[in-house]
Structure 1
Amino acid sequence: MIIYSNNQFLSSDTEIFTAENRGLQYGDGVFETMIFKNNSIQYYQDHFQRLQKAVKCMELTNEVCADPDKLNNLIVELIQQNDLRQHARVKLLIHRAWGGLYAPESEQGILTVFVKDFVPNPVQTKEYVVFSDDIRNHYHKASMFKLLSSGRYVMAGLEMKRRKANDIIITDIDGNVSETLQANLFWIKNNSVFTPGIETGCIDGVMRKQIQLYCNSNGIPFHAGFYNITALEGADVVFAANVAGLTAFAQIEKVKFRTEHALLEALRGQLI
């Protein structure tokens, strides 16, 4: 596999980092995950805009990532070098150049890009989902971005595996639902769409934005805010959504839900 790192195309076997790496030592950086299909990156402008907000928040700079055309061309070239003709998953990381302890000495961001084959997941339902007992989200200046310091998601993932669940819902420190392990959380009730607000500490997802735009364009009520876990109990359908797909939940803890809904199918048909 060919990767891109620090202005070079390299074999994935190449040693590109040393122990003096702020991404390794401090999780100091951001990342972005995108899907390439039909000869383009889905929702590229939205991914690029979120990336710009993330690097600004973290006070990072990178010349390639400041230019949407330059970054897009680099990603497409990398996909071509890896001979990925149909679908690809793109992961872009920016970590800070070395220097300093918790207080960094540099704003220079080092860009690394990985691509691999992406096979759309045919599974549109997760059978058993739990609420996390171990992890809580909280809102802060950078909580809506994808940060390299993702320890809370790793802990939630370990809990999910330990409890033999197919996904896990993280709540905020006040007990409001926030997000799932890898996606934003949604539910439909009376043909209205609900989702936790960014103020719960969840990621400001690209697919979350597309769902909101779809609802606004089609006269479908869309609500974002603070919702206790009991708000899910009366839902017609509950689902998780990210750029890889929309997945319905068949059961959350002891409560069972429908997994089919006309509005959910419309969203899948238009957005995925």
Structure 2
Amino acid sequence: MINFNGNTAQQDNNVLTQNRAFLYGDGVFETVKIINGKILFLEDHYFRLMASMRVVRMQIPMNFTMEFLEEEILKLVTEQGIASSARARITVFRNDGGLYLPQTNEISYLINAMPLENKSYALNTGEYEVDLYKDFYVTKQLLSSIKTTNKMINVTASIFAHENALANCILLNDSKNVIEGIQGNIFMVTGKKLVTPPVSEGCLNGVMRKQILALAKKIEGIEICEEIISPFDLQKADELFLTNVIMGIQPITKYRKKEFTNNLAHLLLQKLNESISEN
């Protein structure tokens, strides 16, 4: 029996009371963007998902190939009629059984999808103010660099941003250094230097982060660095922007009293769209 909001009922073996992702955050996930029936950066997403499963000691099924995952995602968005422009989330979780110690390392997966309005990435140049989130800190460890179903810091930071009329918050690690936004990696431009925190600082090993670093290296005169960023560095920057595979690049317009340009963000977005259209 279970009690759900005051009502008792028989426990169904398939309900959330048995799901380990729900009970313990024992799951990992990837969010992908689909354009014209093609999953962008599929190989990067697939290998990050496989690496995440290995880190948390999940058993990877023999049939869980990149081709299999691609087929399953595209089957869903095609049946929904949204294959022209969509986002899909693949959640992988350990099968039911056990308490902290699982009874099995075998997995199940769930894919859900929703339509997106735009096919190409567009630069949002509207007001986008951020501030630091200091209630909780991200630890500098391997688990912080993968997407697990335990995202309580991101949830509470989102609530803080909403309560304070902010577009986003900047997360800090346990050394009080800048690592990322709530839902994307952060980049800082100072003069001709483009800086983003190294993954070892606890930031997500982002798929779009990888694309932006590769594109920036092709721009003449830009120095690319993976370096520690302190909160004090942000106010000295010329430009700040966030990245993820769904939004692409989001310029930050204001941090405290400092306002920023978006010149490099605009150029990188153009190159990002060009690279997608070529593939």
Q: Decide: shared fold, TM above 0.5.
A: yes
1:131 Cα deviation after fit: 0.5
1:122 Cα deviation after fit: 6.2
User: In the alignment, which residue of structure 2 is the partner of 1:239?
Assistant: 241
Letter in 2 for 1:22: R
1:209 Cα deviation after fit: 0.4
1:39 Cα deviation after fit: 2.3
Verify: 1:200 aligned to 2:198, yes or no. no
1:26-51: CA deviation from partner (whole Å, max 9, x where unpaired)? 01010100000032011111111111
1:79–1:115 contact (8 Å) kept in structure 2 = yes
1:106 Cα deviation after fit: 1.3
- Work out the CA distance in 1 between the residues paired with 2:111 and 2:151: 18
User: In the alignment, which residue of structure 1 is the partner of 2:211?
Assistant: 210
Q: 1:62 to 1:113 in 2, by over 3 A?
A: farther
- Work out the CA distance in 1 between the residues paired with 2:190 and 2:79: 46
1:254 Cα deviation after fit: 2.2
5+ residue gaps, structure 1, are 1-14
Q: TM-score under structure 2 normalisation?
A: 0.86
1:200 Cα deviation after fit: 2.0
User: In the alignment, which residue of structure 1 is the partner of 2:157?
Assistant: 156
1:164 Cα deviation after fit: 1.4
The SS at the match of 1:142 is helix
* Structure whose CA Rg is larger: 2
1:66 Cα deviation after fit: 2.9
The number of equivalent residue pairs is 256
- Work out the CA distance in 1 between the residues paired with 2:54 and 2:18: 23
1:62 Cα deviation after fit: 3.9
Which stretches of structure 1, 4 residues or more, deviate above 6 A after TM superposition?
none
Instruction: Trace 1:64-75 onto structure 2 (pairs within 5 A).
Output: 66-75=64-73
- Work out the CA distance in 2 between the residues paired with 1:65 and 1:138: 34
Q: Mean Cα displacement is larger for which, 171-180 or 125-134?
A: 125-134
1:124 Cα deviation after fit: 3.8
Please, which of 29, 42, 58 is the counterpart of residue 60 of structure 1? 58
Letter in 1 for 2:271: Q
Q: TM-score under structure 1 normalisation?
A: 0.88
1:93-114: CA deviation from partner (whole Å, max 9, x where unpaired)? 0011112222222111111000
Letter in 2 for 1:165: L
Q: 1:17 to 1:228 in 2, by over 3 A?
A: same
1:105-135: CA deviation from partner (whole Å, max 9, x where unpaired)? 2111111000110123763444311111212
The SS at the match of 1:239 is strand
5+ residue gaps, structure 2, are 1-12, 274-279
The CA RMSD measured in Å over matched residues stands at 1.8
